[in-house]
Amino acid sequence: MELCVVLVTVPNQETGEKIARLLVEGRLAACVNCVPGLTSWYHWQGNIEKDQELLLIIKTRRQFVDPLIKLVQSNHPYEVPEIIALPIVAGSASYLAWVEQETTDQEQVE
């Protein structure tokens, strides 16, 4: 089974907690870390922007990335939210087994 880490930036704790709760409750993610203190620099609409953000580090199965992206987009205030999925190539066997156990096929979610 393929596992992924998905990185999402959010503008504030409230947005981060809302998205994290929805992902974990819906079993699209086993765990979401909400890391404060992120400073982001980027180009937007012809300007260089600098914002304080939080980083969500989401652990999930590869098969859930598409529904996860849809959930984040529908609950995110940004016009173009950062959502990047990276494969997990190795890790603690017991932790990776836990991620698999805590994420379920969507048909099983009530």
The per-residue pLDDT for 104 is 77
Between CA 48 and CA 101 the distance in angstroms is: 43
Please give the tally of structural domains in the chain. 1
Please list, in sequence order, all residues whose beta carbon lies within 8 angstroms of the beta carbon of residue 16, skipping any fewer than 6 positions away: 10, 34, 54, 56
Q: One digit per residue, pLDDT tens: the chain, 110 residues?
A: 799 999 999 999 999 999 999 999 999 999 999 999 999 999 999 999 999 999 999 999 999 999 999 999 999 999 999 999 999 999 999 999 999 999 976 554 43
Please list, in sequence order, all residues whose beta carbon lies within 8 angstroms of the beta carbon of residue 26, skipping any fewer than 6 positions away: 71, 109
3-state secondary structure of 50: strand
How far is the CA of 27 from the CAs of 40, 59, 60, in angstroms?
29, 11, 9
What range does the domain containing 93 cover? 3-108
The per-residue pLDDT for 109 is 44
Write down the residue that tokens 């979610």 correspond to: 109
In one letter, which amino acid is 12? N
Between CA 109 and CA 43 the distance in angstroms is: 39
Structure-token pair, residue 58? 């989401």
The per-residue pLDDT for 23 is 97
CATH number at 60 reads: 3.30.70.120
